[in-house]
Structure 1
Amino acid sequence: MDGRKTGGSLKNSQKLSLLSSPVRAVVRLRRSARLLKKGLSPTDPQRKLLQRQISLGKAKLGGSSATLLGQASFESSQYFTFDTSVLQPVTRTGKRTKKRKSRRVLYPGSSRRYLPTEHTSKAKQCLLLLVGIICFQILNAIENLDDNILKYDLDGLEKTMHREVFGQTLAIENIMGLLKDYLATHIHSKPLVVSFNGPSGVGKSHIGWLLAKHFRSVMGSNSVLHYFTMHHCPDNSSTPACQSDLSKTISEMVTQAEIEEKIPLFILDEVELMSPALLDTLGRFFQTNQTNEFLNAVYILISNLGGDKITDVLLEKVAGGVLQPQWQAEELRTALRPVLNHIHPLWALAEIVPFVLLEKNHILSCFYEEMMSEGLYPDPSHLESLAGQLRYYTRGEQQYAITGCKQVVAQVNLL
């Protein structure tokens, strides 16, 4: 046992000696390095001595002592091991998703590599040509509409009506709007039927006379008919003959106007004196189930029908303080529609244009124009005395002539 102990102690002492000498050499090297870092000059003999010691220590460490130190330390190490049998391979639980690589486009070796060229389709050229044709047709149609309106000189007609007719601004604007819309083209689905309704002496017949005069000058007398019931059909017993004559006249004028590419104008005054049979004959020309030439026509119906209704509604609104002109045309048209439809169904196909009562200042204007046309001096005091001889509806400060300007001509002729 003692021999074994002494042998083991000797081995341990040898190992310690083997380990201590290199350690001491390392400590000396570290001390020498620190002294060199403190700033010894290169020519200092102590610096040279230290450098010699460091080189000697490195040589000793590079020999067998270093190998023994390494082997002993690695064998006695309890903390580090390089045994690969102990290590286990690290496995990852998550699966790595492989990115799909996009396939490269391969070109034949005998051809050149270039991008495909865009080929222009002939359909695009045809489409552009079609769009150009449509635009040209639209511009041509617009020019044709303007040409039609210029042919009838509707602007000159409107100026004449505003100059010679007093107190009917809304009625004139309504009439001109209907004529401009209808006469802008020569193709229609129904004839234009306009009904002038209002009290006596407010300018309905005068506007009819201006329309007949104007359209005769621009289209010729063959395309305009100014029909007076008292003149063309004075007796009710001759109603069948009046029906035949009126139907024949309208048919001939419409046929001739179609050949000349014109729209005929029929002005029918004193419609309130027409018999129901004559109204039936006239109403047949207002229907839509006719040939094309009968659809291209303008009919103007002038009558005093509904004049009392217009007077009542207007005076009621004036008494209530409602004087806005915006409501007049629409509200009067709404009030007239059932009254006219009860008289005859043909008014259901007509555009109603109501004429309102004339104020006293409008009567003064009528006297002024009539005296000027007769060559008389229109003295203001004389005009007031003449206007004062007429009868008026008085509502507050407003005065409306009962008979309008109908008696003006007679009063001036007595001067």
Structure 2
Amino acid sequence: MDGRKPTLKSSQKVSLLSSSVRTVIRLRRTTQVLKKGLPSRDSPSKVLQRQQSLGKVKAGNQASFQGSQYFTFDTSAQPPQSIKKKKKRPKNPRVLYPGCSRKYLPTEHKSKAKRCLLLLVGIICFQILNAIENLDDNVMKYELDGLEKTMRREVFGQALAVENVMGLLKDYLATHIHNKPLVISFHGPSGVGKSHIGWLLAKHFRSIIGHEMVLHYFTQHHCPEGVPAMSCQLELSKMVTEMVTQAEVEEKIPLFILDEVESMSPDLLDTLGGFFHTNQTNEFLNAIYVLISNFGAKEVTDVLLQNVTMDLLEAQRTTEHLRTILSPVLSQIHPLWTSAEIVPFVLLEKSHVRSCFYEEMMSEGIYPDPNHIERLVSQLGYYTKGELELAITGCKPVVGKVNLL
């Protein structure tokens, strides 16, 4: 040996380098196979050895975990399912529009059913207004407003009675079709204005619907004493039948004013009451009957003397009380009053009698001297109730005293 280091041949250097490169390449392929799960290109024997070694390592690890004194695992339990978290929706979401576009509200589609409904409502309202106008036209045909003014001007001390009569006439004359005739019965003491209102009614309706449509029946004149009751019945029945028949043809409502009903015989009252029934032909149902009598005069006087007042509300209550008292009394006289509208007339005050003298003297062309009128008023009798004086005979003696002047 000459002290030189041994040198490797070039073929040995290449073999050593190639073996190291092959090892690096093999390790890289193994790592790539493990990462990607792809089968490696190694020989089947090497792959089998590698799997056996991995199985031993896993078994050892599992045995160590199972034998641990600190941790125990229940292998039978299933792993918990993943809980899905609900996404929270933002409150009051807003619609964002692009900045370059216009904002339009959603269009509302109008329904045609609304138009039909509005049309139906309009038709119904028109029909109602038309019906009201027809009622007003029918009432205006009889000019009841003028009649009311005349009655309030010429009838003294009977404001409630006039109001009741006009209310009944307006309600009945609003239409031409009825299910029963209108029967109005005046009751009260003598001289309080019952016959005067009957005379005003007859005068007004004669000027409106004609003389042939108004019958002013005075019992003592049309059926005096000594005349057989049968003839009076036939005559009254004939007059009523002819009038209602003609009125039905002309589409008018006749007026029958029957004064002095207290002088009628029971048979004549039966004949009169037969016209008030509801089970009749149409022409007998469209009629107005006004009964004037002194029945119930005592009851009216007694109630008024016990409840004398100047209050209007109390006077209305007194009028209602009078109706409740008169109804059973009149029903005992004859059943025809069960179908009648009772209108009580109150006693007249001294001031009302003074007005009666003034009007009568003016109508006769006599100068109404106040001193002369006061002397005539003082000659009549009065009920004294406190400071109030109520005339016993009303205005009945006024005409006779004025005629003596």
Same fold (TM over 0.5): yes
Return the match for 2:301 from 305, 311, 314.
Answer: 311
Aligned position for 2:105: none
Q: CA deviation at 1:324?
A: 2.7
2:256 is aligned with 1:266 = yes
- Which residue matches 1:351? 341
Aligned-residue offset at 1:296: 0.9
TM-score between both structures, scaled by the size of structure 2: 0.72
- Secondary structure of the 2:141 match is helix
Please name the residue that 1:50 is paired with. Answer: none
Name 1:174's counterpart in structure 2.
Answer: 164
* C-alpha distance in structure 2 between counterparts of 1:120 and 1:164, whole Å: 63
Would you say the 8 A contact 2:356–2:398 is kept in 1?
Answer: yes
Q: CA deviation at 1:318?
A: 2.6
The 1-side partners of 2:120 and 2:160 are apart by 44
**1:131: Cα distance to partner?**
4.4
Match of 1:387 in 2: 377
* Inter-partner Cα distance in structure 2 for 1:403 and 1:97: 105
1:206 partner amino acid? H
Q: Secondary structure at the match of 2:175?
A: coil
**Alpha-carbon distance between aligned partners in 1 of 2:288 and 2:85, rounded to the nearest angstrom:** 85
Q: Residue 233 of structure 2 contacts residue 268 of structure 2 at CA under 8 Å; is this kept in 1?
A: yes
**CA separation of 1:261 and 1:323: change in aligned 2, threshold 3 A:** closer
Tell me the residue number matched to 1:283: 273
Aligned to 2:95: none
SS at match of 1:196: strand
Alpha-carbon spacing, 1:95–1:224, altered in 2? closer, same or farther (3 Å):
farther
Q: How many residues are matched?
A: 315
Which of residues 200, 203, 214 is equivalent to 1:224? 214
Taking the TM superposition and a 5 Å limit, the aligned residue runs for 1:179-198 are 179-198=169-188
Question: Partner of 2:366 in structure 1?
Answer: 376
Q: Distance in 2 between matches of 1:299 and 1:97?
A: 92
Matched-pair contact (CA < 8 Å) for 2:307–2:318: no
Pairing partner for 1:293 from 253, 267, 283: 283
TM-superposed CA distance for 1:375, in Å, is 1.5
1:400 to 387, 390, 393: 390
Q: 2:189 aligns with which of 180, 195, 199?
A: 199
User: The residue matched to 1:324 in structure 2 has which SS?
Assistant: helix
For residue 125 of structure 1, report the CA deviation from its aligned partner: 7.2
Contact kept? 2:296, 2:326, Cα under 8 Å: yes
Residues 245 and 283 of structure 2 are in contact (CA less than 8 Å); yes or no, is this contact kept in structure 1? yes
Deviations 1:295-335 (A, max 9, x none): 1111000000001110011111239x999312121011111
Q: How far has the Cα of 1:353 moved from its partner? A: 0.2
CA contact (8 A) 1:265 1:297 kept: yes
Q: Secondary structure, in 3 states, of the residue corresponding to 2:351?
A: helix
SS at match of 2:228: helix
> Is contact 1:236–1:275 with CA below 8 Å preserved after alignment?
no
Equivalent-residue separation in structure 2 for 1:282 and 1:96 (angstroms): 98
1:3-402 correspondence runs (5 A): 91-92=79-80, 130-235=120-225, 237-318=227-308, 324-402=314-392
Between the aligned partners of 1:216 and 1:252, the Cα distance in structure 2 is 17
Label 1:126 to 1:289 Cα distance change in 2 as closer, same or farther (>3 A).
farther
Structure 2: which 5+ residue stretches go unaligned? 1-60, 66-70, 88-107
SS at match of 1:318: coil
Structure 1: gaps of 5 or more residues: 1-82, 100-116
Hey, what does 1:4 align to over in structure 2? none
Identity of aligned residues (%): 70
Q: What is the aligned-residue RMSD (CA, Å)?
A: 3.0
**Is the CA contact (8 Å cut-off) linking 1:317 and 1:323 kept in structure 2?**
no
Query: Residue 258 and residue 125 in structure 1: after superposition, are their counterparts in 2 closer, same or farther (change >3 A)?
Result: farther
What TM-score, normalized to structure 1?
0.70
